[in-house]
Amino acid sequence: MTRLAAIVSAGALAVSACGDSTERAGDAAGKAAGKTADASARPVDPASVRANELGRVPVLMYHQIVPKPASVYDRTPAEFRAELERLAREDYVPITATEFVTGRIDIPAGKHPVVLTFDDSTISQFALGPDGAPRPDTAVGILLDVARRHPGFRPVATMFVNSAPFNDPDGRRTLTWLHRNGFEIGNHTATHVNLGSSNAATVQREIAANQKAITAAVPGATVRTLALPFGIKPNPPSLAVHGEHGGVRYQHLGVFLVGSNPSPSVFDASFDPQNIPRIRSQGPKGPDANFASTRWLNDLASGKVDRYTSDGDPTKISYPRGTTAQIAPAWRKLARPY
């Protein structure tokens, strides 16, 4: 039984939304990095790599990548590159938001998953040059360069976009490139509206209209995840998960917050797909630095916070018997405590 089969047997919503487009994207990303997970590879003793697939996962949040940051949410290109280099050195492997929430964390033994997310679809994150390739000074360009320098560091991320993403009026040119190259396109509402102060009709219109624009730009794409603007939930919160407007229905497998801490593993009983915390990328100093990426990556590296470490086997979920985390009922058939 594989992890995906476990979702099926549990009757999870994730299965119905995991179509061929995600398969193609994941395959393309793995090939771009020169390595894909191989379930037929020789099994590794989970104890030998200190596997802990109930450990915490950093879901990093980025906004502007600019030479002169205007707010605590911005990072310079040098700072962004340095953080990616650190992740590569510390054996992290990027996965998409959908791969995370569906438990498709097929990375080599001893490696750690990290989810890179970008909000607001700005041109500092992604822009195509005259040659049709990503500009090297953008976040995507930098990510691709770091991946080339570190084989196995997958050049994938989840881009939570608004309308006219990356200054591309209909999104066709930019979103098509991202989709074809293994990046996930998530929903961030059409106009970055505060969902908490909006009525139900407005909430559903904002989400459905943006989904419609995304799928019109990239036929065959499926929008499976949502990042809440300002981290604020609608009332009722279920409207962030599913709804309908103008004949367009949406159904999200994961809803991402602004947050301030690493996420529980998707296999952990405490994991809540409607409230997935993220960590703002930031250095060791500045406002709320104690809740930002440098602090949490330090704590994960030191062992102060238990970190997700892969066993390399997509058919099992390995973890130390002494862990305080509890495996979720839907995943118990795959449990391999040691």
CA 288 to chain centre: 22
- Which residues of the chain fall below pLDDT 50? 7-40
Q: What is residue 6's predicted lDDT score, i.e. its pLDDT?
A: 56
Cβ neighbours of residue 253 under 8 Å, at least 6 residues apart? Answer: 13, 14, 17, 98, 101, 102, 224, 225, 273
Place of tokens 């996420």: 263
> What span, in angstroms and rounded, lies between the C-alpha atoms of 212 and 82?
36
Q: Which of these, 213, 32, 70, lies nearest to 205 by C-alpha position?
A: 213
User: What single-letter amino acid sits at 150?
Assistant: H
Q: What is residue 29's predicted lDDT score, i.e. its pLDDT?
A: 38
User: What single-letter amino acid sits at 296?
Assistant: W
Locate 224 and state its tokens: 């499976």
The pTM assigned to this predicted structure is: 0.90
Locate 263 and state its tokens: 């996420």
**Residues 106-159: pLDDT tens digits?**
999 999 999 999 999 999 999 999 999 999 999 999 999 999 999 999 999 999
Q: Is 328 exposed, middle or buried (0-12, 13-18, 19+ CB in 10 A)?
A: buried
> What span, in angstroms and rounded, lies between the C-alpha atoms of 84 and 42?
29
HEC assignment per residue over the chain: CCHHHHHHHCCCCHHHHCCHHHHHHHHHHHHHHCCCCCCCCCCCCHHHHCCECCCEECEEEECCECCCCCCCCCECHHHHHHHHHHHHHCCEEEECHHHHHCCCCCCCCCCEEEEEEEECCCCCCCCECCCCCECCCCHHHHHHHHHHHCCCCCCCCEEEECCCHHHCCCCHHHHHHHHHCCCEEEECCCCCCCHHHCCHHHHHHHHHHHHHHHHHHCCCCCCCEEECHHHCCCCCHHHHCEEEECCEEEECCEEECCCCCCECCCCECCCCCCCECCEECCCCCCCCHHHCHHHHHHHHHHCCCCECECCCCCCCEEECCCCCCCECHHHHHHEEEC
Q: What is residue 239's predicted lDDT score, i.e. its pLDDT?
A: 98
Locate 281 and state its tokens: 């990328």
Task: List beta partners, residue 109.
Answer: none
CB 113 within 8 A of CB 57: yes
Q: What is residue 43's predicted lDDT score, i.e. its pLDDT?
A: 80
